Amino acid sequence: MRRSPRARRSSGNARSKRLLAAVGALAVFGGIAAVTQISSAGERRQSAKTRTVSSNCVQPSPGATSPGGRTSTTRTWQNGRWVRNHWGDGQMSVAECQSVKAGKAPVTTLASTVNCPDVTGRLPRIPDRARNEVDRNLALLKTQIDEVNRRLAAEGSRNGPAFVNNAILNPLADKRRATLNRIATAIGRVAQRPQGLDQLARCTVAAGNGGQNGGADNGGQNGGADNGGQNGGNDNAGGNNNGNALGVLAKDCGNSRLQPHDGFQNGNRCVSTAFGEVGAAANNPSLLITQFPNQVQRNQAFTLRVSTRNLVRDRFLAAGQGGYYLESSVLNGQGLTRGHFHTACRMLESTDTAPSNPEAVPAFFVATEDGRGGGRADEVVIQVPGLPQNGTAQCAVWAGDGSHRVPMMERANQTPAFDVVRIQVN
């Protein structure tokens, strides 16, 4: 709409006032815009720096619960301390997760029970003349375990590690040793006496998430770990190849077409978490399976003994709760990697070619974290409840940092902290 000549000839004083008001409004708006932009940039920097564990309760992936569908984390009593076993890397069931978030104990928390080596599977063919006495003593072994379990349920959670070891496990081992000796003697009267049964005398204690944990509860809960996410710039161009003949394809996720990784176990994502700290070569983790059976029966329980060195087993961010690849690798004050280790057994389709099903859930998997480990070698016993399928099992053990990556090494020609054995299942 055109203004009349009279309207256009308004006083210079009024025009000056309008100009001053407009300039003032623009200044105020510009200040607001500047503050908003700075605040938003700060929020973006903060969100890029910190990715906390998700608060959602999600359905665990297949094979993520402990044997028998128990809790996501159980404990075994070994060498005077609790060893935490994180099944499926700590993936809770939805009900268990919701219970924990409501401030309650996990709905599937178990009372302490003893785990004893299988005796029946270690016996030779029992002669008929020894059958009654052997069966009577096998029944006595079960009675001994039942009695100890009742005592653990009544007293174990109220007392410390010394009580469990001295008042429960040691007397049980003595009773079992005497009973096993009677079994060997009964068979030895009419056939060749079985050897090594006394090695089956000692039992361990398994427990759920509740109760005491021997003062080594350093891992398991993420606490919003603020170690990952820094991209360190968008230097993806590959200009500096550090003397390599090939250009660097990428140093961060700046140009990736994949969506960001969110801490859960999903593929086709780009992980922006920084690698973190790498120790000196002499301090890099090492690992060895020191004892394992060459052959087991189907569904027969067995154990693997694992020795680790330079791995402080005190850091575990539950992958099933958004802790996967979330945290950068961290060293302790002595320059040793903080983390845990994993054990998995899978059945091989063939021993002539690489497996064609890398996505398959293993027949057994557990992550172990107990607050121990250091510069000197020590040992942890892994209890495998049995493998359900005949064939050749590949049982592997490998170290992981707090967010489940194989620990980095100073040099490329060092051997990673892993070991693998094959066990025949008949």
CB of 305 closer than 8 Å to CB of 328: no
Q: Which of 146-155, 160-169, 216-225, 258-267 has the lowest mean pLDDT?
A: 216-225
The DSSP symbol for 74 reads: E
* Phi, psi at 183, each rounded to 5°: -65, -45
Give the span between the Cα atoms of 57 and 60, in whole angstroms. 9
Q: Please name the residues in contact with 239: beta carbons below 8 A apart, sequence gap of 6 or more.
A: 247, 248
> Domain limits of the chain?
52-105+263-425, 113-206
pLDDT of residue 70: 56
Helices and strands, counts by H and E, the chain: 6, 15
Give the pLDDT confidence of 6-57 residue by residue, as tens digits. Answer: 444 444 454 444 444 444 444 443 443 333 333 333 333 333 444 444 456 7
Give the span between the Cα atoms of 395 and 393, in whole angstroms. 6
Report whether pLDDT(381) > 60.
Answer: yes
pLDDT of residue 53: 44
pLDDT of residue 158: 59
221 against 98, higher pLDDT: 98
Q: Are strands 295-296 and 418-425 parallel, antiparallel or unpaired?
A: parallel
Give the span between the Cα atoms of 137 and 131, in whole angstroms. 10
Beta sheet of 378-384, edge-to-edge order: 286-291, 302-309, 378-384
Token code pair at residue 376: 């000197």
Residue 234, SS3 per DSSP: coil
Per-residue pLDDT band for 277 (boundaries 50, 70, 90) equals very high
CB of 93 closer than 8 Å to CB of 70: no
Report whether pLDDT(385) > 60.
Answer: yes
> Domain 52-105+263-425 falls in which CATH fold?
Immunoglobulin-like (2.60.40)
Give the pLDDT confidence of 240-256 residue by residue, as tens digits. Answer: 445 445 688 899 999 99
The β-bridge partners of 345 are 364, 395
pLDDT of residue 91: 67
pLDDT (average), residues 365-392 = 93
Give the pLDDT confidence of 83-97 residue by residue, as tens digits. Answer: 777 776 666 777 777
Residue 143, SS3 per DSSP: helix
pLDDT (average), residues 337-344 = 96
280-304 burial: b if 16+ Cβ within 10 Å, else e? eeebbbbbebeebeeebeeebbbeb
Give the pLDDT confidence of 104-141 residue by residue, as tens digits. Answer: 655 444 456 788 898 988 899 999 999 999 999 999 99
pLDDT (average), residues 155-172 = 78
Give the pLDDT confidence of 208-238 residue by residue, as tens digits. Answer: 433 333 333 333 333 333 333 333 334 444 4
Query: Average pLDDT of the chain?
Result: 77
Sign of CA dihedral 255, 258, 264, 266: negative
User: Scanning the structure block, which residue is given the tokens 């490998």?
Assistant: 398
Nearest to 81 by CA among 221, 207, 222, 223: 207
The β-bridge partners of 380 are 306
pLDDT of residue 74: 72
Could you give the C-alpha distances from 67 to 98, 305, 414, in angstroms and in order?
21, 19, 35
9 against 271, higher pLDDT: 271
The DSSP symbol for 411 reads: S
CB of 93 closer than 8 Å to CB of 325: no
